[in-house]
Amino acid sequence: MTNGPEDTRTMRERMDAGELYIADDPELGEMSSAALDLAQAYNATTVRQGPLRRQLLEELLGHIGEDSEIRPPFHVDYGSKISIGDRCFANYGLVALDVAPITIGDDVQMGPNVQLLTPTHPVEPQARKDKWEAAEPITIGDNVWLGGGVIVCPGVTIGKDTVVGAGAVVTKDLPDGVVAVGNPARVIKKVTD
């Protein structure tokens, strides 16, 4: 698995296309370092620094909707591939590894220590040893509630109005309007009014 002579794309272009790339590429390293600096500045703010917090999130993220709040600490890979809708709330310790896009709808609530993980790694030992990796996007629908400690794996879409119980590991798509729990997460019932 190499970038052959006919493939002149950069590692960033390969990453953005959802293909295998090498993460310790200098351009990607600089992008990640800039995001880590912004995240560190955000994490050092206090609740009384609301305007500064908002400014830092707008600089760090691809999009942050109106009246959305992320309680620090907050950790990202690049930040720029994260889009968060309006009126969202993420409690302490959100990890959003955005090698691929992470799209979060409106009115989403996340408990503490939620992990949104887009990176993947080859199963083949030599490819891993050679530092190849890839990523798959994550989509969280409107009005989803992710309980504390939920892990959402690469390529997963969670449908609107769905509730994922604390500690669940979501390895496959979840439909609209269900409650899912466990590892791996499984649907246990439909949400009803």
Spans of all domains in the chain: 11-190
Spatial strand order in the sheet of 132-135: 21-22, 132-135, 119-120
Dihedral, 138, 154, 30, 114 alpha carbons, nearest 10: 70
CATH class of 11-190: mainly beta
Which residue is catalytic, options 121, 133, 157, 167? 121
- Tokens at 164, concatenated: 């994922």
Write down the pTM of the prediction: 0.94
pLDDT tens track, the chain, 193 positions: 545 557 789 999 999 999 999 988 999 999 999 999 999 999 999 999 999 999 999 999 999 999 999 999 999 999 999 999 999 999 999 999 999 999 999 999 999 999 999 999 999 999 999 999 999 999 999 999 999 999 999 999 999 999 999 999 999 999 999 999 999 999 999 998 7
Please indicate whether residue 121 is annotated as part of the active site.
yes
